[in-house]
Amino acid sequence: MTRKRKKHASSVDQLTDLHFEELQRKSAAEGEEITRDYSPHPEGKISDRIVFLAQPILDKEGSGESNFTKTVIGFACIAWNASLLKISERQKLIDDLLNSIDLAADDLVGRVLIQNMIDDLIARKLKHFPNDRRFITSHKAAVINGSIQLSVASFDTDEDAFNTEKRPEITDLN
């Protein structure tokens, strides 16, 4: 019996290629096609910006452990997207996240720590990258030889993309 070996990325380019292949498979299964844009974004690489957001937490709390690093990167991506929402809508996203992760209902300390981390990440994103309106749709992170490797899929949004007050109403055309 032969076992199928799981591909492991050994570089950022390989991680990005694996991430894109995974996204292509998912899109094809849904009958959609995605393309990869190789042109540099005027705001810079979003993966570098996510690592920049997470770095103070990783430096302060990090054990160098891969799972911890990937978790913090995941929270940084969530905080990035939350920063695109109106302030009044951010807390609902964070509450939904806190309710979806595996925290005991009575673990108030854990909930507060995660809430504070996300709040700090949002503040850092707004301070350093206030005009970067890219929305993260997917990310894949790995720690290889002690270095963070990150691939991020995103798309550009405008200022009103998530503003529910400015969305056009859908009317019955019949």
Residue 56 CB neighbour total at 10 angstroms: 14
Q: What is the pLDDT of residue 34?
A: 64
Contact 114, 98 (CB under 8 A): yes
All residue ranges of the chain with pLDDT < 70 are 1-12, 15-16, 34-41, 62-64, 103-106, 159-174
Q: What is the pLDDT of residue 30?
A: 79
Question: DSSP 3-state assignment of 159?
Answer: coil
What is the sign, positive or negative, of the torsion defined by CA atoms of 81, 87, 91, 96? Answer: negative
Q: What is the pLDDT of residue 120?
A: 96
Domain boundaries, given as residue ranges, for the chain: 45-156
User: Residue 154: phi, psi to the nearest 5?
Assistant: -150, 170
**DSSP 8-state symbol, 137:** E
Token digits of residue 152: 């991020």
